[in-house]
Amino acid sequence: MDMTGKTVMITGASRGIGAEAARVFAGAGANVALLARGQEAIADLAGEIGDRALAVPCNVSRYTEVAAAVNAVREAFGGLDVLINNAGAIEPIARMDEADPDGWAQVIDINLKGVFFGMRAALPVMKAAGGGSILTVSSGAAHGPVEAWSHYCASKAGVAMLTRCLDKEEAENGIRAIGLSPGTVATQMQREIKASGINPVSKLEWSDHIPADWPAKALLWMCGPEADDWCGQEISLRDEEIRKKVGLV
């Protein structure tokens, strides 16, 4: 898919799915804005990609920082066509009777409030331009309980509903809201899950996880008209038909 002249803002771009998405979208010709708390990592990635990349240090759990990032992207590239809400956390992994309340709440701040903040900041810019795509990385955990992941499951369930709400409110204004459930991906988050030793997901072998460029390529495909049937819904990379459509083997 040709993204020449389009601008994409990616949260959690310092590693994993976010970093791979930056490479994939840049390879398709897009301007890419890299948002993350890890300033050095996104600066290095922007240097790797070149002039069409902008590194913007940002904590998505703070709306003022997200809004400032959107303004910086608009000033640098003239607009915003795609927002990828990718930033997410799962630590501290703990059963509810042992969970640290502050740590639990911080995951909600990043995973749920951070997604809403991205949507809220991007919407005025996109609507003024006639539309845009807001893609959010979801999870199978949005739809079923997982031991010691109460914060993660609750936040991802909330994100799935945010996507549905956004579609209901803004589809008529040209906003395409779609979620992506990638399955288990070979990223740092899976290392954290493995180290916890809690629940069946932590018992998976590294070879069971898909590479991070698979969801990155799926996100690119989701920007095209073929994905319009999933607006307001969630696309699962566990679906073999979806993998074929994206071109994954």
Q: Residues 61-107: pLDDT tens digits?
A: 999 999 999 999 999 999 999 999 999 998 999 999 999 999 999 99
Please indicate, yes or no, if residue 32 is contained in any of the structural domains: yes
Among this protein's residues, is 138 annotated catalytic?
A: yes
Among this protein's residues, is 61 annotated catalytic?
A: no
Please indicate, yes or no, if residue 55 is contained in any of the structural domains: yes
Span 136-148, average pLDDT: 91
Task: Identify the active-site residue in 61, 113, 150, 156.
Answer: 156
Q: What is the pLDDT of residue 186?
A: 65
Span 9-14, average pLDDT: 96
Q: Is 210 exposed, middle or buried (0-12, 13-18, 19+ CB in 10 A)?
A: middle
Please indicate, yes or no, if residue 196 is contained in any of the structural domains: yes
Parent domain of 141: 7-246
Span 208-228, average pLDDT: 89
Span 37-42, average pLDDT: 91
Please indicate, yes or no, if residue 120 is contained in any of the structural domains: yes
Span 112-122, average pLDDT: 98
Q: 121-130, 179-188, 238-247: which range is least confident on average?
A: 179-188
pTM: 0.92
Query: Which is higher by pLDDT, 209 or 162?
Result: 162
> Alpha carbon of 84 to those of 99, 134, 195, 241: distances in Å?
29, 6, 28, 23
Task: Identify the active-site residue in 6, 139, 152, 236.
Answer: 152
Which residue, 75, 73, 88, 87, is CA-closest to 8? 73
Query: Which is higher by pLDDT, 197 or 45?
Result: 45
Residue 142 DSSP class: G
Please indicate, yes or no, if residue 149 is contained in any of the structural domains: yes
Q: What is the pLDDT of residue 203?
A: 74
Please indicate, yes or no, if residue 2 is contained in any of the structural domains: no
Q: In total, how many domains does the chain have?
A: 1
Q: What is the overall mean pLDDT for the chain?
A: 93
Span 212-224, average pLDDT: 93
User: If pLDDT is split at 50, 70 and 90, which confidence band does 159 have?
Assistant: very high
Please indicate, yes or no, if residue 75 is contained in any of the structural domains: yes
Each residue of 163-210: pLDDT tens digit? Answer: 999 999 999 999 999 999 987 766 777 778 878 888 777 876 667 676
Q: What is the pLDDT of residue 54?
A: 97
Indicate if the pLDDT at residue 235 is higher than 90. yes
Tokens of 149: 């992941």
> Alpha carbon of 45 to those of 125, 137, 174: distances in Å?
25, 20, 31
Residue 210 DSSP class: B
Q: At which residue do the structure tokens 């008529």 appear?
A: 172
Please indicate, yes or no, if residue 1 is contained in any of the structural domains: no
Among this protein's residues, is 156 annotated catalytic?
A: yes
Q: In CATH, what number is assigned to the domain containing residue 69?
A: 3.40.50.720
